[in-house]
Amino acid sequence: MSNQELSLKNIEDNMYFFNKGKHYHAYRFLGAHKMASSSQDGYRFTTWAPQAKSVAIEGDFNQWQPQALERVGETGAWTTVIKEASEWDLYKFVIEGRDGLVKEKQDPFAFASEVPPKTASVIQNPTSYSWNDEKWLQTRRQQNIYQSPINIYEVHQSSWQRHADGRAYSFDDLRKELIPYVKKMGYTHIEFMPLTEHPLEASWGYQVSGYYSIAGRYGHDFDPLKRFVDAAHQAGIGVIMDWVPGHFVINDDAMANFDGGPTFEYSDPRRAKNIRWGTLNFDLGKNQVQSFLISNAVYWLEEFHFDGLRVDAVSNMLYLDYDDGDWTPNIYGNNVNLEGVDFIRRLNKEIFLRDPSYLMIAEESTAWPGVTQSIDQGGLGFNFKWNMGWMNDTLKFFKLDPLSRSYNYRLITFTFMYMFDENFILPFSHDEVVHGKESLLGKMPGDNRYRQFANLRLMEGYRMVYPGKN
């Protein structure tokens, strides 16, 4: 769909599918889009705020004086065209909510954002990047991923390397240094921790405020990230991104109570509030939220050529009692989040209909059965599961003094009970080396580095022969 088609009628037509939970390219009409028609310059701004009493927009283009948006029928959408708007202008929506309060809000569909602690959205035009990775994509689609090696290198973009003056590496810097390093070390894939906009650096990106925006601290432009993925593919390296569809940042200037009441989050405060992480849980049973999230997964996979997504905190979407605090059983009297299960299955079905060679990896920390089983057979439909249990037991065992290990072999043997139940990835991920937990080498017993390195080599050798991917 071209921007030229963003008329009121077309917005109304698109909102029909968005409201049904069946629009998987919602980013093409919601947000800020350049008017391509020669008879109409500027940008069309459209947002979904069904409970709002009024919506306006303010930005660089109108000296931050709010201009009203028009309600699009009964669709819940609001829209207007600002002829004076230009690429890279800053803007915010001004929403008078159902609670009567007027708040400035970021655009949930913005393609770029200011660097925190600033909070404005940034107009950015989608680029027509010329990809050179067709050979990689053809090879990926011809491979059997269950028989092919997978060895993943996890990266936190802003801390992998830094310049002498303290600046984090850009994507172009990483393209020149990270890809050759990963190739030399024998990895097959790079996994980025979340690259989407997040206000708190200490969250490592797992408390998202802008799902369609590359974090401003990593640079505003699309092309550097696309160049990185393109170069990795040409070097024979796949690229995966961590994706957080279960919960979002609670900040008042973002999606929380977007139109003066629960919009993206559950209406039940007990289900909406994520006590453990200080965030808000998406209402996964709401059609519009499903359109928002599945469109977002499609956006990163199709527009940026990522090879897959590591879906974070799947357990939080599966269980009603996963978090702390009160909870209410479902209609069957148990703790299963039926809407969450339905969403996960719809997500995986839609992604694999587009390309069966994508990697959809569940970071799921419980014994939920059938995580990587097909949907037709009652499973969740992922093709791999992050094996947290194996990681935790293995690290506990190898941290022990060798003299104590013979009394603790259950840490090793217990995993044999379920080692073939799922298609597992065996991670030693960031979760186990943060908050003073030490590096993998630092966890190893021994009174000198020689013994610690010997133990680390033994542990990595054990991982190499254990069933699963790395």
**154/79 Cα distance (integer angstroms):** 40
Q: Single out the catalytic residue among 259, 363, 364, 422.
A: 363
User: Do residues 106 and 75 touch, judged by C-beta distance below 8 A?
Assistant: no
Q: Are 249 and 207 in contact (CB under 8 A)?
A: yes
DSSP-derived letter for residue 20 is H
Is residue 74 among the annotated active site residues?
A: no
C-alpha neighbours within 13 Å on the C-beta side of residue 321: 9
Residue 312 appears among annotated catalytic residues: yes
> Would you state the structure tokens that stand for residue 18, as one six-digit string?
């968005």
Residue type, 183: K
| Element counts in the chain: helices (H) and strands (E) | 13, 22
**DSSP for 334-384, written as a single string:** SSB-HHHHHHHHHHHHHHHHH-TT-EEEEEE-S--TTTTS-GGGTS---SE
Options 96, 242, 303, 312, the catalytic residue: 312
CA-to-CA dists, residue 290 to 92, 133, 153, 322, angstroms: 24, 30, 30, 21
Beta strand pairing call for 70-72 and 77-82: antiparallel
Residues known to be catalytic: 312, 363
